[in-house]
Structure 1
Amino acid sequence: MITSFYMPTRIVSGSGALATIGMLARDLKMTRVLVVSDPVISAQGFHADALAALSGAGIAVARFDECGIDARCSHIDDQGERVRREGIDGVVCLGGGSVMCTGKGIAIVATNRKPMADCTGVGRFDRKALPMIMVPTTAGSGSEVSQWTIVKDEVRHLKLLGGGPLSFPDAAILDPVTLRSLPMHVAALPAVDALTHGVEAYLSGIASPLTDAVALAAVRLQAASLRASINSDDDRAREDNLVASCMANIACGNARLGHGHALSLPLEGHLDLPHPYGVGVLLPHVIAFNLAVLPAKVRPLAEALEVETAGLSRQEMIAACADAVRALYADIGFPTRFTPEQLPRDRVREMALRAVPGLYAGIAAKDFDPASAHDRTIIASPAARRMTVRQAEEIFERCVG
């Protein structure tokens, strides 16, 4: 099997790293930037410090602070046009995954001169996105090192993925100062999302020794630092969690994401379920499902998740992996099941059918007719084990509490 590994983003990490933002912008030949954020982040002291550093480096600053829970095509298209109109030559994002996906979408649309919906799918645009600097304020989506952006088409109620090598951010700044004001219940959501990235990269059918090494190291660092990062005032743990989140996305950016993301997509698009809830609740089930066909990967994942493996059979280790994730969730206040309101039982079958196109179909997903699928239809996913609609339905059923 031929594999590849590509990571062009420059990563600057550590306490005080945010102070380098002006220098990085100059290095990228930025002269006028759009700073993308949301109303909460734009009120933080570190946001003001970043703006001051950019201005101090002689860079003109325009702002868009209206990002919401999802990156929305309407925001992206409007701001892409604004960027062209105002002669903006760079995008700087300070925020979580939705902010970074919004900024990435703006950078793509600005140079390709077509709506974001037409840029979704794999490599469906021809021009390199505007230069981008990403400052994640959660640990996190890992979008700061990802070529992909996930956006919501509000009209068709679809979550769409777009990207390719032309949309990698140019620089990422990982500074634990951005996590200090994050409430615990908010910090838990992106942290779980990041954990799914590392695990699903490891369980991918196109994983390689390179991606396995990065994914396992990310999971190990997450398991060791996540509780302290969220439940205590520990800057070192926050820094470790930021780095682990970044590593997890480097791994899944090359090995891709699996069933957790494929099954979560219709829940997000049609039931408005926040992304971390979808992938997080599904993760223990995805682990058990895929490890059944990956015997050599069971023990390394169990050990990365801090499972005591001595004396355990392979099947016991698989169960212990899922249990370790659930125990972590309990310690950080993350749910292990969907409520009947989040996933009504009478819509479980529909959601399993709608999951068939998978994560990477992009705009082609709008043409998929769920009525064309049946129990044995395969969910499109690069995961190591193939999953049918019926198996997806069974997993959904076990997830509703």
Structure 2
Amino acid sequence: MITTFYMPTRIVAGAGALATVGMLARELKMTRVLVVSDPVISAQPFHADALAALAEAGMAVARFDECGIDARCSHIDAQGERVRREGIDGVVCIGGGSVMCTGKGTAIVATNHKPMRDCTGVGRFDRRALPMIMVPTTAGSGSEVSQWTIVKDEERHLKLLGGGPLSFPDAAILDAVTLRSLPMHVAALPAVDALTHGVEAYVSAIGSALTDAVALEAVRLQYRSLRASINSDDERARQDNLVASCMANVACGNARLGHGHALSLPMEGHLDLPHPIGVGVLLPQVIAFNLAVLPDKVRPLAEALEVDPAGLTRDETIAACAANIRALYADIGFPDRFTPDQVPPGRVREMAERAVPGLYAGIAAATFDHTTVGDRTVIACPSARKMTVRQAQTMLETCLA
């Protein structure tokens, strides 16, 4: 099998890295930049420091600080038009995954002159996005090194993914100073999302030795440092989490994401389930489902999750992996079940059916008729083990409180 590994984003990491934002903007030939953020982040001292560094480097700065929980097509389309109208030639994102996806979508729409919904799917635009610098303020999505943009189409209640090699960010700045203001209960959500990225990349059918190595180290580093990062004022652990989340997306950007993301997507769009809750609750089930057909990968993943496989059968080792994930959740205050309010039992079958197009279907998901599928219909997903609608339904039911 032929595999590829592509990561063009420059990564600048460590204490004080945020101060390089102006220099990076200048190197990317930016002169007028749109700084994308949200109302909470834009009030933080490090945000002001970044703006000052951009100004000192000679940048004219415009701002959009109204990002919400999800990146929204309406915001992206409006800002894309604004960028063209005001002659802006670069985008700097300071925020979590929704902020970075909003900025990335804006950079795509600005150069391709069409709405974001028409850019969803794989490679459905022809022009390189505007130059982008990403400054993540959560150790989670890894969007700072991702070609993919996840957006919400408010009109049709859909979560859509779009991207391709023309939308990789040019630079990512990983500086733990941006995590200091993040409340502990909030920090757990993106951290678990990052953990799912590493695991799903590792159990992908299109992975390689390169992606496996990066994914495993991301999982190991994340699992080792996550408790201290969230439950204490440990700057080193926070920096490790930033780097681990970035690595996890480097891995899944090449090996792709799996069942957790495919099954979570319709619940996010139709039930407004928060993305980290969807993929995180599913993660222990995803591990068990896929490792069952990957005997050679059980021990390495177990060791990354601090499971000692000595004296354990393969099935016992797999169960211990899932148990360690749940123990981690308990320690950081993350749920391991969906509540009936989040996922009504009566809609589980529908969600399993709506997952069939998979994560990478883009706008095609809007016209998909979920009522035409049956128990044996296979969900479009690059994971090592194929999953039918009936298996997906069972997995979702297992995750209900």
TM-score category (smaller protein): over 0.9
Shift of 1:367: 1.3
What does the per-residue CA deviation read over 1:193-246, in whole Å, with 9 as the maximum and x for residues that have no partner? 000000000010001000000000000000111100100001100000000000
Which residue number corresponds to residue 10 of structure 2? 10
Distance in 2 of aligned mates of 1:156 and 1:181: 34
What's 2:159 paired with?
159
3-state DSSP class of the match of 2:107? helix
Where does residue 174 of structure 1 map in the other structure?
Answer: 174
Matches within 5 A, 1:85-124: 85-124=85-124
Q: How many residues align?
A: 401
Does 1:51 pair with 2:64? Answer: no
SS of aligned partner of 2:266: helix
Matched, 1:394 2:394: yes
- Find the aligned partners of 2:13 and 2:140 in 1 and give their Cα distance: 14
Paired-residue identity, %: 84
Shift of 1:308: 1.3
The letter for the 2-side match of 1:320 is A
Where in structure 1 are there 5+ consecutive unaligned residues?
none
Paired residues for 1:4-43 under 5 Å: 4-43=4-43
Write the deviation string for residues 7-63 of structure 1: whole angstroms up to 9, x where unpaired: 000000000000000000000000000000000000000000000000000000000
For residues 270-349 of structure 1, what are the structure 2 equivalents within 5 Å? 270-349=270-349
* 1:377-397 deviation per Cα after TM superposition (whole angstroms, max 9, x unaligned): 001000000000000000110
TM-score w.r.t. the length of structure 1 is 1.00
**Structure 2 partner of 1:192:** 192
CA distance in 1, matches of 2:373, 2:197: 28
Task: Name the structure 2 match of 1:250.
Answer: 250
Q: Which amino acid aligns with 1:306?
A: E
Superposition deviation, residue 318 in structure 1: 0.4
* Distance of 2:309 and 2:285 partners within structure 1: 20
Deviation string for 1:48-104 (max 9, x for gaps)?
000000000000000000000000000000000000000000000000000000000
* Runs of 5+ unmatched residues, structure 2: none
SS of equivalent residue, structure 1 residue 91: strand
Secondary structure of residue in 2 paired with 1:197? helix
Cα distance in 1 for residues equivalent to 2:100 and 2:292: 35
Q: CA RMSD in A?
A: 0.3
- Runs of 4+, deviation exceeding 6 Å: none
CA drift of 1:162 comes to 0.2
TM-score (norm 2): 1.00
Give the drift of 1:309: 1.2
SS in 2 for 1:76: helix
Cα distance in 2 between the residues matched to 1:209 and 1:320: 24
Can you list the C-alpha shifts for 1:168-214, whole angstroms capped at 9, x where unaligned?
A: 00000000000011000000000000000000000100010000000
Aligned partners of 1:112 and 1:97: how far apart in 2? 22
Structure 1 match to 2:359: 359
Query: How much does 1:117 deviate?
Result: 0.1
Equivalent-residue separation in structure 2 for 1:133 and 1:219 (angstroms): 25
Matches of 1:105 and 1:82 in 2, distance apart?
Answer: 13
For residue 124 of structure 1, report the CA deviation from its aligned partner: 0.2
Cα drift, residue 370 of structure 1: 0.5
Q: CA deviation at 1:109?
A: 0.1
